[in-house]
Structure 1
């Protein structure tokens, strides 16, 4: 089933407290609850015996349905804004990003995939690894510290 599709794979780095997979998974589920357009995601464990046959290097993967996008380029989302069919969900995306403390949406053109289907464009929110304060959390680097100030 998944061998004939396109996927984006996030991996867990060995030897570091890398919470990127957890951040992606939690953000995916919150995004779905808020009706944010977001590709399907799953956490899978690939048996170590099967890794080499798929060309994989890590045990745990987060395969995200890549929506059959063959060409990816960094284009500011405002260039597509008037053409998007699901622009009405941008308010959901804004609430979502505030709720998960996503600091990565405003950089790199927004981390949105834009796909074309039947002469219409749709956006999908991707890349939530830096949510919840980042992906390398330890005792010195918590989601909230007494020195941080947030203005809502």
Structure 2
């Protein structure tokens, strides 16, 4: 099922933590880290995502007013026009859970969002090559999977 443009939460299946921006960031316009956050976050705006569905089947993901971009294999929220936002593919993996997806680069490089193997609050989301189980449909590790829940 394709996601429609709207507001969502994103949580890692590894550690069951929200994905968002840090509650306390510097006030510069430099890119902001996209990190794991506690589920009981006291500031929901740092864990509320706007997902914009594009005509080509990709998505622009925005958190706290910053569009996300791949900067040196790390997911960041960019507050200025540069670098441009990364287009992401959000692929359902419902055989691994309700509302469960992988979030990968637009080009099929086999790389996508990944939480840490031992997830903890404050760890930044990275972009790494997936290690996929040999099955049909393929199975992904928990750190490669994200639960995306619509808020609207």
**TM-score, reference length from structure 2:** 0.25
Which structure has more helix as a fraction of its residues?
Answer: 1
Which of 1 and 2 has greater Rg?
Answer: 1
**TM-score, reference length from structure 1:** 0.25
